[in-house]
Amino acid sequence: MFKRVVTSESELRALMGAPSERAIKKEMATLDEPSRAFIARSPFLLLATSDASGRCDVSPKGDGPGFVRVLDEHHLVIPDRPGNKRLDGLRNLLANPHIGLIFLIPGREETLRVNGRASIVRDEDILESLAARDKRPNVAIAVEVEECFFHCPKAFRRSQLWEPEAWPDRSILPSMACVMYERFKPEGKTLDEYLRESEENTQRTLY
Distance of CA 89 to the CA centre of its chain: 10
Domains of the chain (ranges; CATH) run 20-159 (2.30.110.10), 168-204 (no CATH)
Q: Identify the segments of the chain with pLDDT beneath 50.
A: none
Statement: the pTM of the whole predicted model exceeds 0.75: yes
- Mean pLDDT score of the chain, rounded to an integer? 96
Note the pLDDT of residue 136.
96
Distance of CA 116 to the CA centre of its chain: 14
Note the pLDDT of residue 16.
97
Within the chain, what is the greatest distance between any pair of CA atoms? 63
**92-115, pLDDT tens digit by residue?**
999 999 999 999 999 999 999 999
Note the pLDDT of residue 133.
94
DSSP 164: G
**57-68, pLDDT tens digit by residue?**
999 999 999 999
77 within 8 A of 55, measured Cβ to Cβ: no
Q: Write phi, then psi, for 118 (nearest 5 degrees).
A: -125, 155
Note the pLDDT of residue 122.
98
The CA–CA distances, whole Å, from 129 to 49, 75, 112, 132 equal 24, 15, 23, 9
Note the pLDDT of residue 158.
97
Q: Write phi, then psi, for 58 (nearest 5 degrees).
A: -125, 125
101 Cβ contact list (under 8 Å, min separation 6): 45, 46, 47, 48, 78, 113, 114, 115, 143
User: Can you spell out the DSSP letters for 92-132?
Assistant: HHHH--EEEEEEE-TT-S-EEEEEEEEEEE--HHHHHHT-B
Note the pLDDT of residue 99.
98
- Backbone φ/ψ region at 121: left (φ over 0), alpha (ψ -120 to 50), beta: beta
DSSP 41: T
Round the CA-based radius of gyration of the chain to a whole number and report it.
Answer: 20
Decide: helix, strand or coil at residue 30: coil
